[in-house]
């Protein structure tokens, strides 16, 4: 059996930070004089901060100078940090810890593969940092998902071949990135939205030990 590696996305897979991103982006939108809806927030999942800012300005029909663009992006993040500052272990999504414990018990290397530049403080706040052998996030990559860079780098840092990695993702762009990296892609969320994933689960509560053992034995 080849050595396996598991890669977790953060936002929407380990914790539901999408709601805090939404609050911070909608605070900024209202300051700029328009409404940003929860439906529009779907487009922001898995997407880099800079790209989110561009989409937000498109929605509001606003043209910004480079200076304004950068200032607003910082402002949004400062606001977001205020929300995540209050996070604790109660915000870990159901059965994430069970799956992490299962992998630890089997001595499987675990990576984080996220677009967020706030990944490390969030993992610290919710008390999960020690589970991760390596963290690849928005600070380490140049190409955003759906480019596979983040997952390929995570595999490299784990010392596991890309073919032997399994990825948990809640964003369409993330599933596309995992598929491009030739990894097993597991969609966490709505299977109609994540239809390109190899396997789909509403959340980790649906993922039993038989399935997890199958992943360890697979390929
Ligand atoms: C994740 C989220 C996105 C967010 C991105 C950057 O991928 O799903 O909604 O825009 O991270 O997050 P950051 O914390 O760096 O602003
Ligand atoms: Mg995500």
- Ligand 1: residues with CB < 6 A are 11, 21, 44-49, 52, 77, 114-118, 138
Coil, helix or strand at residue 113: strand
Decide if pLDDT at 42 tops 90.
no
Q: What is the pLDDT of residue 218?
A: 80
Owner of token pair 């779907």? 42
Convert the pLDDT of each residue in 68-84 to its tens digit.
999 999 999 999 999 99
- Whether residue 158 contacts residue 109, with contact meaning beta carbons closer than 8 Å, is answered with yes
Lowest pLDDT segment from 30-34, 55-59, 137-141, 176-180: 137-141
Mean pLDDT of the 113-128 span: 97
- Residue 116 Cα, ligand 1 centroid: separation in angstroms? 4
Decide if pLDDT at 192 tops 70.
yes
Q: What is the pLDDT of residue 84?
A: 95
Mean pLDDT of the 114-136 span: 97
**What's the mean per-residue pLDDT of the chain?**
96
Decide if pLDDT at 98 tops 70.
yes
Q: What is the pLDDT of residue 43?
A: 87
Decide if pLDDT at 207 tops 90.
yes
Decide if pLDDT at 211 tops 90.
yes
Closest residue to atom 14 of ligand 1, CA basis: 116
Decide if pLDDT at 20 tops 60.
yes
- Euclidean distance between CA atoms 68 and 84, whole angstroms: 24
Decide if pLDDT at 91 tops 90.
yes
Cα→Cα distances 5→107, 140, 152, 183, 184, Å: 10, 19, 11, 10, 10
pLDDT band at 219 (very low <50, low <70, confident <90, very high): low
Non-local (6+) Cβ contacts of 175 within 8 A are: 167, 169, 185, 187, 194, 196, 197
Lowest pLDDT segment from 40-54, 82-96, 155-169: 40-54
- Expressed in angstroms, the distance from the first to the final Cα of the chain is 8
The region, left, alpha or beta by phi > 0 then psi within -120 to 50, assigned to residue 198 is alpha
pTM of the predicted protein model: 0.95
Number of Cβ atoms within 10 Å of the Cβ of 213? 12
User: In this structure, which ligand is nearest to the CA of 8?
Assistant: 2
Q: Which burial class, exposed, middle or buried, applies to 93 when counting CB atoms under 10 A from its CB (0-12, 13-18, 19+)?
A: middle
Mean pLDDT of the 12-16 span: 96
Number of Cβ atoms within 10 Å of the Cβ of 165? 25
Structure tokens at 87: 């996070």
Q: Which burial class, exposed, middle or buried, applies to 9 when counting CB atoms under 10 A from its CB (0-12, 13-18, 19+)?
A: buried
Q: Which of 15, 53, 77, 116 to mutate to test the pocket of ligand 1 (most atoms within 8 A of CB)?
A: 116
Catalytic residues: 9, 11
In ligand 1, which atom is closest to the CA atom of 138? 15
């Amino acid at each position: 059996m080849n050595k396996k590696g598991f890669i977790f996305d953060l936002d929407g897979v380990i914790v539901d930070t999408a709601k805090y991103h939404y609050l911070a982006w909608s605070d900024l939108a209202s300051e700029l004089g328009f409404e940003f809806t929860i439906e529009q927030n779907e487009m922001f999942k898995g997407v880099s901060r800079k790209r989110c800012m561009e989409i937000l300005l498109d929605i509001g029909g606003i043209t910004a100078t480079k200076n304004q663009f950068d200032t607003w992006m910082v402002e949004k993040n400062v606001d977001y940090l205020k929300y995540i500052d209050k996070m604790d272990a109660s915000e870990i999504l159901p059965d994430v810890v069970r799956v992490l414990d299962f992998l630890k018990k089997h001595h499987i290397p675990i990576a984080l593969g996220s677009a967020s530049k706030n990944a490390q403080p969030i993992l610290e706040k919710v008390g999960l940092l020690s589970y991760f052998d390596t963290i690849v996030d928005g600070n380490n990559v140049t190409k955003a998902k759906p480019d596979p860079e983040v997952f390929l780098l995570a595999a490299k840092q784990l010392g596991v071949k890309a073919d032997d990695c399994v990825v948990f993702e809640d964003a369409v762009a993330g599933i596309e990135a995992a598929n491009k990296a030739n990894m097993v892609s597991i969609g966490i969320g709505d299977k109609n939205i994540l239809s390109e994933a190899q396997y789909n689960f509403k959340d980790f509560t649906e993922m039993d030990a038989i399935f997890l053992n199958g992943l360890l034995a697979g390929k």
